[in-house]
Amino acid sequence: MRTVELHCIIHADKQQRQNIADILVAQLSEVGYQSFMDTASGLKAYIPESYFDVAAINELPINAMFPNTMEWQYQVIGDKNWNSEWEKNFQPVVVAGQCLIRASFHEPSGQYPYEVVIDPKMSFGTGHHPTTHLMIEWLLELDLKGLNVLDIGSGTAILSIVASQKGALKVWAVDNNEWAYQNALENVRINRGDNITVIQGTINSLKEKGFDLILANINLNILLQDMPDYTRALNPGGQLILSGIYQQDIEKVREAARGQRLHYTGQKNMEEWVALVYEKESEENSDKH
């Protein structure tokens, strides 16, 4: 099957370029793009040739959000062994000296308490990006035994798998991207995550409520938009861990959390990224206000 490679060249500084790329991933996913790759100048996105539509690109809301900032290029490419491409570039990573993230073509280690096998192919969520790395650091510090965990925007399901290995009772891995959904199913199977349920959809697609821990490593705009949904789905006393946030945007997240019965409890930083932790106040504390 032939594929269209769409290259968006983003004319902006490094931080702004990454912010635009994060938004672009979300909007392109909604019109059928199945995989993405960061470039030095912007972002590449991939879609089957039969689904490619130039008009859909021109109609993306991001064009109006950042006028005269993006330059679009595209080409049709033939069949390609994406697994081979990732094998040439994907190296194992160790998080906090405790968790080894490797691909199936790497040898097992046995040196770390936790070992996760991820075959990401063209997806995000390998532990290499600071946002994923920070989320895993938080998970490694928490006692998850007996908890119900929601991983929203789960991508490769790497966070769900770590939560499962840390003793979570049940884990729900949710992503609205078809390719991410299929990849998550594969990775959950490889890691024998029998207590992980993989769902294609959004937080509003879930029938389940009452989670003890919610993980959301998504772009900033979606985090801000869905903050009330996270709060409703979280048990009193439950924790919400957010990433995909630049340090300069922390106040935007704090503002969105105000009035949501969420109390800030901590953060971790890596490069220009941050992961924030909030706790939902108990019903008893809520009644006092």
Q: Residue 269 belongs to what H/E stretch?
A: strand 262-270
What are the contacts of 54-62 at 24+ separation with CB within 8 A? 56/31, 56/32, 57/6, 60/24, 60/27, 60/28, 60/31, 61/27, 62/20, 62/23, 62/24, 62/27
One-letter amino acid at 136 equals I
Q: Kindly state the tokens that stand for 205.
A: 């697609």
SS3 44: strand
Domain boundaries, the chain: 3-78, 125-288
**CA 45 – CA 4 distance, rounded (Å):** 8
SS3 73: strand
**CA 32 – CA 34 distance, rounded (Å):** 6
SS3 155: coil
Q: What is the pLDDT of residue 124?
A: 57
**CA 244 – CA 274 distance, rounded (Å):** 7
Class of 3-78 in CATH = alpha beta
**CA 145 – CA 14 distance, rounded (Å):** 40
**CA 214 – CA 257 distance, rounded (Å):** 14
Q: What is the pLDDT of residue 289?
A: 45
CB crowding 47-81: b at 16 or more within 10 Å, else e: beeeebeeebbeebebeeebeebbeeebeeeeeee
Fold (topology level) of 125-288: Rossmann fold (3.40.50)
Q: What is the pLDDT of residue 190?
A: 95
CA-to-CA separations, 219 to 21, 79, 108, 288, in angstroms, rounded: 9, 30, 32, 34
Say whether pTM exceeds 0.95: no
Q: What is the pLDDT along the chain (289 residues), one digit of tens a residue?
A: 688 889 999 999 988 888 888 888 878 877 878 677 778 899 988 888 888 999 999 999 999 999 999 999 999 987 665 556 556 667 889 999 999 999 888 889 889 999 999 876 555 566 677 889 999 999 999 999 999 999 999 988 999 999 999 999 999 999 987 778 888 999 999 999 999 999 999 998 898 889 999 999 988 888 999 999 999 999 999 999 999 888 889 999 999 999 899 999 999 999 888 999 999 998 665 544 4
